[in-house]
């Protein structure tokens, strides 16, 4: 049984990861490290883990306890990932990084390159991978909308991504903009001068052959979890809806977790809450293709996708441990 250690285990995405992994039949929980909450019961900080009789391990526990072929999940931010990933990799561990430290070519350090953890495009590369950069929630939703459009790339004039995320996407470190009194009753656009996730979307969009300019606007909405992305591909000439829907069917047929909705039905955040699922709506009006994607920002947008990648890395069935649903956060 493969041990999985989590560094930065007190965050929202890390808590969701632990919830999923504790029911995984082929892996066991190793070190659950938190610099800020060492020695405290995990269940006192993560309500979904109240029945897990564990306390957070102290800082640097994982670096002392890991062994060759263990998996280490780095969930403590980019600075930690840059500092610790090389040491774990040199020691023979597999590493999954939740931060944006290694998601783009520009961010990668020297020869240290990670496989981008987007299974719908990089499944083969993820098999037996040693180092994976887990995508952000916004890029995951946007790329699920863009991937099937690659055959139409030459006819696309512009891409617009208008996305709304639950507040857990901002992380667990308190900030004024994340307070209930700030977000309740509001839909707040942010990152208008450039959002860090835009670099990921742009890189992967270009890799698909889509050179059309991207306009990306993220929003925070007063929900704990969930992400809805309204994505628009604007063409130079009218396209047929049947052709675009057929491209999505070909791209995602037989892929676990993805549901292509009937034309009259919109994706639902409630339907994907606590899962690694994505619901996708496709419709076309003249020169505009509209793709709406619903995911759980802590599921397919973070921890669920990490487990999906872990399963591919270790040769397990892709759906393993990803049939559970969460209650609360």
Measured between alpha carbons, how far apart are the two ends of the chain, in Å?
28
Query: pTM for the complete prediction?
Result: 0.94
Question: Which two tokens mark 3?
Answer: 């041990």
3-state secondary structure of 265: coil
Which one of 21, 137, 294, 321 is the catalytic residue? 137
* Spatial CA neighbour of 1 closest among 327, 323, 236, 320: 320
Per-residue pLDDT at 241:
97
Q: How far apart are CA 162 and CA 321, in angstroms?
A: 31
Domains of the chain, first to last: 2-133+300-314 (3.40.50.720), 138-296 (3.30.360.10)
Q: Which residue stretches of the chain are H helix? A: 12-21, 61-65, 78-90, 119-126, 137-146, 180-183, 196-207, 241-252, 269-272, 304-314
pLDDT of 329 reads 42
Tokens of 308: 């999906």
The Cα-based distances of 63 to 66, 91, 159, 268 in angstroms read 6, 9, 43, 41
Residue 137 a catalytic site member? yes
DSSP conformation letters of 2-39: EEEEEESTTSHHHHHHHHHHTT-TTEEEEEEE-SSSTT
What are the structure tokens assigned to 97, written together?
């990084």
pLDDT of residue 328: 46
3-state secondary structure (DSSP) of residue 286: coil
pLDDT of residue 183: 87
Q: Give the pLDDT of residue 108.
A: 64
d(Cα 137, Cα 116) in Å, to the nearest integer?
13
Mean pLDDT of the chain: 94
Four-residue CA torsion sign, 309, 310, 313, 319? negative
Whole-number pLDDT of residue 325: 54
Low-confidence stretches of the chain (pLDDT beneath 70): 107-111, 174, 324-329
């Amino acid at each position: 049984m493969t041990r999985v250690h989590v560094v930065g285990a007190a965050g929202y995405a890390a808590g969701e990861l632990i919830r999923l992994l504790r029911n995984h039949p082929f892996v066991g929980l190793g070190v659950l490290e938190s610099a800020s909450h060492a020695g405290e019961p995990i269940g006192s900080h993560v309500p979904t883990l109240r029945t897990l009789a564990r306390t957070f391990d102290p800082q640097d526990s994982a670096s002392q306890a890991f062994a060759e072929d263990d998996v280490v999940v780095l969930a403590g931010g980019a600075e930690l990932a840059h500092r610790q990933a090389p040491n774990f990799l040199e020691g023979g561990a597999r590493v999954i990084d939740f931060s944006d430290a290694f998601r783009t070519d520009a961010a990668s350090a020297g020869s240290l390159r990670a496989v981008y953890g987007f299974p719908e495009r990089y499944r083969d590369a993820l098999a037996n991978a040693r180092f994976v950069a887990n995508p952000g929630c916004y890029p995951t939703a946007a790329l699920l909308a863009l991937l099937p459009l690659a055959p139409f790339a030459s006819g696309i004039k512009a891409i617009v991504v208008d996305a709304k995320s639950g507040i857990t996407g901002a992380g667990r470190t308190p900030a004024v903009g994340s307070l209930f009194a700030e977000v309740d009753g509001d839909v707040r656009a942010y990152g208008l001068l450039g959002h860090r996730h835009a670099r990921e979307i742009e890189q992967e969009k270009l890799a698909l052959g889509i050179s059309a300019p991207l306009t990306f606007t993220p929003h925070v909405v007063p929900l704990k979890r969930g992400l809805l992305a309204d994505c628009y591909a604007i063409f130079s000439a009218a396209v047929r809806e049947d052709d675009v829907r057929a491209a999505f069917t070909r791209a995602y047929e037989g892929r676990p977790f993805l549901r292509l909705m009937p034309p009259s039905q919109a994706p639902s955040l409630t339907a994907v809450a606590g899962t690694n699922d994505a619901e996708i709506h496709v419709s076309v009006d003249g020169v505009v293709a509209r793709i709406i994607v619903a995911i759980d920002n802590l599921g397919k947008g973070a921890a669920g996708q990490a487990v999906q990648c872990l399963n591919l890395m270790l040769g397990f069935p892709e759906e393993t441990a990803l049939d559970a649903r969460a209650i609360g956060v």
